[in-house]
Structure 1
Amino acid sequence: MSAPVSLLMLDGDGIGPEIVAATRTVLEAADSRFGLNLAFAGAVVGFDALKASGSTIPDAVIAAALDADGIVLGPVSHNAYPPVAEGGLNPSGTLRKRLDLFANIRPAATRPGVTPPCGKPFDLVVVRENTEGFYADRNMASGPGEIMPEPDIALALRKITRRACRRIAESAFRLAATRPARHVTAVHKANVLRLSDGLFLEECRAVAKDYPDIAYDEVLVDAMAALLVRDAGRYDVVVTTNMYGDILSDLAAELSGSLGLAASLNAGEHHGMAQAQHGSAPDIAGKDIANPASLIGSAAMLLDWLGERKGNIALRQAAAAIESALEQVLADPAARTPDLGGSAGTQQMARAVAARL
């Protein structure tokens, strides 16, 4: 048997516990089918952790994440948390920063059986820088990236570093080299943000020279939003900074059929974390109607990432099998959750994916 692969499961808030449980159902089926030797552990984050320990992500959870081979994080209700001084840290942002999960990989593709709003098939991946930009909870060594010098003045600081730009560009080109279209598009606003987005483009262009067999172009972020709506199929790998990537990946996911289908992997040099692209949807929590597809797909991405790092073909085979099984379920209206026009519950849909493994 292969060495154990430790996965830390973090439920989060709202629908988080339901879709994390659904994802575990699929992972356990994959473990049984492919002999992965997965070792599951759990820890509490979010409101339950705040109530128990005074912090939405205690130090012990961060230590457990550092020790795990991979993390599966359920959505969190961080907008509703108290101030940071009162323990209301964003678990997602905290883990991205502490584990240096600099690459947020967000695929968006149309699927058989799910009619896309755009009306056209496409298959693209947004490669989003994950550790700086305008994100105030992670772009400073000390203190937030937003300040209010006077009650009626708020200032936000955007940090862009050459190192972060270089490594996200390298991630995008390495990914493009594995895909049939072999095309990278850098999205920016350098016509206005000449220094910060200019630095980002400098590094993208430098990396592009190392990959002469991969097509490379650049698009302004506002034009990119319009062009995705018009014809997302013209794009393959889209690389961009943090905030642009967050917005464009949600747009691409909706164009593919639903944000509920949007898988997401946070990856660094040494750590990987699966995370649904959507939020915690507290209004439907506990009703067994939440769509688990996003987190299941994210877990498949995590297994593939772990398999590549460890040279473990079984992990990569399991990842591909989960993706295939998920696609089969999404093509079957009876097996889908209500948001996709079906009648299945969260756990029922997860069991359907597991059965198809």
Structure 2
Amino acid sequence: MDWVHTIHRGGWIEMAKYQIATIEGDGIGPEVCGATVHVLKEALGSGIMDFNQFPGGASHYVKSGFVLPEETFAACQHSHAMLHGAAGLPDVTYPDGTEVGNDLHLQLRFKLDLYANVRPIRLYQGDFSPLKNRQAGDIDYVIVRENTEGLYASRGAGVLLRGEVATDTLVVTRKGVERIAKFAFELSRKRSGAPSDHKRRMTVCDKANILRSYAFFRAICDEVAQSYPDVAIDYSYVDAMTVHLVKRPEFYDVIVAENMFGDIISDLGAATVGGMGIAPSGELGDHHGLFQGAHGSAPDIAGLNVASPLATILSGSFMLRWLGDRHQDQQLTEAAERIERAVELTLSQGKVIPRDLGGQASCTDVTQAICRNLD
């Protein structure tokens, strides 16, 4: 075992191999984050990971005036990965009306250059899809959303003139598109292709027929594609994509999109496999990774033990895969596979189903069932 040693009160103590900065956040965040830590510990055993709790989010802002304290940012900067529950409270806003809680991961995104927002979309149980005649595995693709540019680069920097005119600017750079396109192509190489034909395919989602910024985005993706002859390149305008993800989701393998378009189609994709409560996500850069469920903080059900932990648990398994790949650590990859199989088995058994998927199981019930099914 590769141990990290540190001095504590004059003596040596042993720390686990991987340090995870854990921010529970707001609303249901502490519940789903706690459930995920429990599952990860069960899957890994002791001595592999330390989950170190740090404050942050809208609730912390109310108490301290800081959504992302310096201590928390420093921990995120120096940890192996970040695990986040959920952030945001609708009533806690900045003077411009934007929510404070979202600023937690937005600050981390830009300060740590987490340029790839990765949203896996997988159908674990056919009954959970609103689409007809779908079986588990029929929908299995990944949306790669450029995370630091696009329309959202204007957040906090747009123009509001005399209360009459508001503008935000869509920003697309060569560097930004090149690296997100390379990320998407590399991801397709690691996958088994689209469910319909098992073909590795990278689809560019844009509006290149109307706007120069998106035509530029597509042109750079075409340039990058020359280095990946083993991965087919495909195109879809974003309006058509909203139809394709409903009518023929099995065609897709990896989809790359500008920030706002990626945000929109990833929620649509989640709806086709059961909803936001089963949608994991990771925000990745060259050196850092932040993992959280794609859903919000749902303060109306906070503390009631009724929230589904599935999205955060699957984000935790995603974290293990990412760390396993970065550190060539097969035990992390195997633990991630066990967690994903346990989730699929739990849902297929039909006895412990969270409320957002039509069941009555509590957050605790779901967590315990997944732990039982790990073996």
Whether TM exceeds 0.5 here: the answer is yes
User: Does residue 184 of the first structure (1) align with residue 202 of the second (2)?
Assistant: yes
SS at match of 2:117: strand
Deviation for aligned residue 1:36: 6.0
Deviation for aligned residue 1:236: 1.1
1:163 aligned residue (134, 156, 175): 175
1:299 aligned residue (303, 316, 332): 316
CA–CA separation in structure 2 for the residues paired with 1:84 and 1:70? 32
SS at match of 1:253: helix
CA–CA separation in structure 2 for the residues paired with 1:78 and 1:221? 30
2:30 aligned residue (17, 21, 43): 17
SS at match of 1:157: coil
Given residue 160 of structure 1, which amino acid in structure 2 is its aligned partner?
V
User: Does residue 174 of the first structure (1) align with residue 222 of the second (2)?
Assistant: no
SS at match of 2:119: strand
Correspondence list, 1:45-124, <5 A: 45-77=56-88, 79-83=90-94, 88=100, 90-112=103-125, 114-119=127-132, 120=134, 121-124=138-141
Identity of aligned residues (%): 37
Deviation for aligned residue 1:354: 1.6
CA–CA separation in structure 2 for the residues paired with 1:214 and 1:80? 46
CA–CA separation in structure 2 for the residues paired with 1:107 and 1:88? 26
Deviation for aligned residue 1:85: 9.2
Indicate the residue corresponding to 2:12 in structure 1: none
Bigger mean CA offset, 247-256 vs 338-347: 338-347
SS at match of 1:326: helix
- Give the conservation status (yes or no) of the 8 Å contact 2:188–2:253: yes
Q: Indicate the structure whose relative CO is greater, using CA pairs within 8 Å and at least 6 residues apart.
A: 1
Output the TM-score relative to the length of structure 1: 0.93
- Give the conservation status (yes or no) of the 8 Å contact 2:27–2:89: no
Deviation for aligned residue 1:203: 1.6
CA–CA separation in structure 2 for the residues paired with 1:198 and 1:113? 37
CA–CA separation in structure 2 for the residues paired with 1:227 and 1:31? 39
- Give the conservation status (yes or no) of the 8 Å contact 1:25–1:351: no
Output the TM-score relative to the length of structure 2: 0.89
Indicate the residue corresponding to 2:156 in structure 1: 144
CA–CA separation in structure 1 for the residues paired with 2:61 and 2:353? 34
Change in 2 beyond 3 A, CA 1:79/1:99: farther
Bigger mean CA offset, 238-247 vs 227-236: 227-236
Deviation for aligned residue 1:352: 1.3
Given residue 53 of structure 2, which amino acid in structure 1 is its aligned partner?
G
Indicate the residue corresponding to 1:239 in structure 2: 256
Deviation for aligned residue 1:283: 1.1
Indicate the residue corresponding to 1:26 in structure 2: 39
Deviation for aligned residue 1:78: 5.6
Correspondence list, 1:218-297, <5 A: 218-297=235-314
Deviation for aligned residue 1:84: 7.1
CA–CA separation in structure 2 for the residues paired with 1:69 and 1:134? 30
- Give the conservation status (yes or no) of the 8 Å contact 1:113–1:330: no
- Give the conservation status (yes or no) of the 8 Å contact 2:89–2:299: no
- How many residue pairs get aligned? The number is 349
- Give the conservation status (yes or no) of the 8 Å contact 1:176–1:236: yes
Q: Provide, for residues 240-279 of structure 1, a one-character-per-residue CA deviation record: whole Å limited to 9, x for no partner.
A: 1111111101101101122211011111100011111111
Deviation for aligned residue 1:150: 2.0
- Give the conservation status (yes or no) of the 8 Å contact 1:145–1:158: no
CA–CA separation in structure 2 for the residues paired with 1:294 and 1:237? 20
Name stretches of at least 5 consecutive residues in structure 1 with no aligned partner.
none
2:211 aligned residue (193, 197, 208): 193
Runs of 4+ with >4 A deviation: 84-87
- Give the conservation status (yes or no) of the 8 Å contact 1:264–1:298: yes
2:49 aligned residue (38, 42, 56): 38
Deviation for aligned residue 1:2: 3.5
SS at match of 2:305: coil
- Give the conservation status (yes or no) of the 8 Å contact 1:334–1:343: no
SS at match of 2:82: strand
